[in-house]
Each structure stands twice: as C-alpha cells, then as structure tokens.
C-alpha cells in the first residue's frame, strides 16, 4: 500500500512538472508570436506611411503635368491643324511643339 501510494505521488509530481514545462513552453511560444506580429505591424505601418508620401508626390506631379499639358494644348500647332487627322505630321512640326 505504502509503496503504491509513493509511486502514485511520484507519478503526480512528474506529471505536474511535465505540465508546468509544457505551459511555460506554450506561454513562450505565444509571446514570440505576439512579438513577431507586433514587428510585422510596425513594418507595415512604416511601409504605409512611405506609400502615402509617394502617393502625395505622384498626385502633385500629375497635377503639374496636367497643367503643363493644358497650357501646351493652347499653343500646339499639331492640335490646330485641320489636316492633322489625315496625314502624318512632319518631324519639324513635332519638334516645334516640344520644350527646348
């Protein structure tokens, strides 16, 4: 009886220790996963900020180029030529439209 009781106590102690180690391992794994997710979040936030800046720059560039095009359309001889749709424009006519 005493021997069996001692054996059961030893088994309980080993089981508890094994469970404690498994719980520690699980908590560590959870912490590592949370840390990794936080790092990924920070990285994506930085990328998002960078992309928003790039969108702003590209939007400004598009506005500028649209204005340049609008101003150019007012003076472009190719757009005012009635024969423009029937013939290929001469190379010298094209170069007169390009900025110098």
Question: pLDDT tens digits, the chain, 100 residues: what are they?
Answer: 777 788 899 999 999 999 999 999 999 999 999 999 999 999 999 999 999 999 999 999 999 999 999 999 999 988 776 555 555 555 565 555 555 5
Minimal CA–CA distance to 93: which of 79, 66, 9?
A: 79
Residue 61: the pLDDT is 98
Distance CA 72, CA 59 (A): 20
Would you tell me how many other CB atoms lie within 10 Å of the CB of residue 28? 10
Distance CA 34, CA 27 (A): 10
Distance CA 66, CA 46 (A): 30
Q: What is the model's pTM?
A: 0.56
Residue 1: the pLDDT is 76
Residue 4: the pLDDT is 79
Residue 68: the pLDDT is 96
């Amino acid at each position: 009886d005493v021997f069996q009781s001692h054996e059961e106590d030893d088994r309980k102690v080993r089981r508890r220790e094994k469970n404690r180690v498994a719980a520690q391992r699980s908590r560590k794994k959870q912490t590592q996963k949370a840390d990794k997710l936080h790092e990924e979040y920070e990285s994506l936030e930085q990328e998002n900020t960078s992309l928003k800046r790039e969108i702003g720059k590209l939007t400004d560039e598009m506005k500028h180029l649209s204005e340049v095009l609008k101003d150019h359309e007012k003076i472009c001889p190719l757009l005012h030529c009635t024969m423009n749709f029937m013939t290929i424009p001469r190379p010298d006519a094209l170069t007169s439209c390009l900025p110098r």
